[in-house]
Amino acid sequence: MHSARAFADQYRQTRVTSAVLDADPHRIIAVMFTAARERTRLAAACVDRGDIARKGQAIAEASTIVSSLGGALDLERGGEIAQGLAALYDYIQRRLLEANLRNDAVILAEVDDLLADIESAWSAIAPEGMPAGSP
């Protein structure tokens, strides 16, 4: 028998998959920022309640997403902005590792703040005809 949590997880995964399949590239990156921030906040909550195993999993998921964001950068055409983002993603990766090693929710809050800043800038450059932050 399936638990309510299993059904909720299945729904969440279906919702994310649907959002990605129906999205343009700009929206996909926005979904990735949202997911990375959700995982970072989950990891901080896990630190607070002492769930070290789930904290490690959430940090690993956030790290994978940040790595994918970095991999999506076009360093040749993106110039200084892409180089700066690559350096920032590298810094975020190092902070996630440190937060994991130290069980440090303060570092996770810093990472969330950095991702929020990048997410906000990304939303501000929504493609023409699409309002900033719209799905």
Neighbours of 96 (CB within 10 A): 23
The span from the CA of 76 to the CA of 54, in Å, is: 38
Cβ pair 32, 19 in contact under 8 A: no
Q: For domain 11-121, give the fold.
A: Four Helix Bundle (Hemerythrin (Met), subunit A) (1.20.120)
Assessment of whether the complete model's pTM goes beyond 0.85: no
* pLDDT of amino acid 134: 45
> Where exactly are the structural domains of the chain?
11-121
Question: Once rounded to an integer, what is the mean pLDDT over residues 58-86?
Answer: 95
Determine the pLDDT at residue 25.
85
Calpha distance 38→102 (Å, rounded) = 20
Q: CA triplet 101, 122, 67: central angle to 5 degrees?
A: 35
Listed residue (72, 67, 65, 11) closest to 42, CA to CA: 65
CB-based contact 67:93 (threshold 8 Å): yes
Q: Higher pLDDT residue, 25 or 82?
A: 82
Q: In terms of residues, how long is the chain? A: 135
Confidence class for position 135, pLDDT limits 50, 70, 90 = very low
Cα–Cα nearest to 122, from 41, 27, 40: 27
Asked if pLDDT for residue 23 goes beyond 60, the answer is yes
